Amino acid sequence: MPPFSTLFGISALAITVLLLLIGRWISPKNYALAVFVDRYNRISLTRLQIVVWTIVILSAYVAASFTTGSADLTIPSEIWALLGITVGGSAGAVIVQSNRDIDEPPTEVTARVAARGGSGDSNVGRSHKAGRPRWSQLFTGEEVGDFHTVDISKVQMFFFTAAAVVAYVQVLLANDWSEPAFPVLSSGMVTLIGISHAGYLTVAATPTSADKADPASDTITRTDAPAPAPAPEPAPEPAPAPEPAPGG
């Protein structure tokens, strides 16, 4: 029987290929990475998290089943909590986006987003349907007001997730699998993932649709800011002097 590491790698590769084939099959543009794309034609960080953790946990389950000779594996509660946080965060993101997707954004903001490769007839920024999503959208805002700015909460959640995935894969590979049980995931790491999801949803729920772009500059101003004072009207021109009478 091959070692756990070999079985884990084969399983992860097979599941990844299967997911890419599903995305290519379902996507109207035959886009293999469609499994990561949300309904706004954007690469979704929460979708990426669900896919990555699904590959890791399912691959480990298949490999451990062959290694231990038992499919009755004990999975620690920390792993269930992590999966619950990931799925719950994705569901929360969908709810937040749906709530912001009601009103149309300011015309100036829509024009600015379109000029930079996006489009949107709602407050949620999205990629042009004619183009493909970009990986940079993992780190940018989701509303038209911050569509092209870095969302620090998403950056934090990405690196926390990457660190948790790498750390747990190392634990899986180092485990001797003498018993049919998954190794315990650090509760501190689960807490960090939960905090990062809470921060992301808090930032995502904060509306920026009141932002308007100045088409003549690269700045964004608030619509609720006081309007500038009107320029004074020019003084009327003086009346012309009367002409002298003829023959004085």
- For residue 174, the enclosing domain spans 4-68+76-209
Domains: count for the chain: 1
SS3 (DSSP) at 243: coil
Is 216 among the domain residues?
A: no
Q: What is the pLDDT along the chain (248 residues), one digit of tens a residue?
A: 789 999 999 999 999 999 988 888 887 665 778 888 887 788 888 899 999 999 999 999 999 999 999 999 999 999 999 999 988 888 887 777 676 665 555 555 555 555 555 444 444 555 444 457 888 888 887 776 667 788 888 898 899 999 999 999 999 999 999 889 999 988 888 888 888 888 888 877 776 654 444 444 333 333 444 445 566 666 666 666 666 666 54
Is 221 among the domain residues?
A: no
Angle (nearest 5°) at CA 192 between 188 and 193: 120
159 to each of 70, 152, 165, 228, how far by Cα in Å?
A: 34, 11, 10, 43
Closest CA to 201 of 118, 121, 85: 85
Would the pTM count as exceeding 0.75? no
Burial category of 220 from C-beta neighbours within 10 Å (exposed 0-12, middle 13-18, buried 19 and up): middle
Is 27 among the domain residues?
A: yes
DSSP result, 13-41: HHHHHHHHHHHHHHSTT--GGGGGB-TTS
Is 24 among the domain residues?
A: yes
SS3 (DSSP) at 195: helix
Q: Is 11 within 8 Å of 101 (Cβ atoms)?
A: no
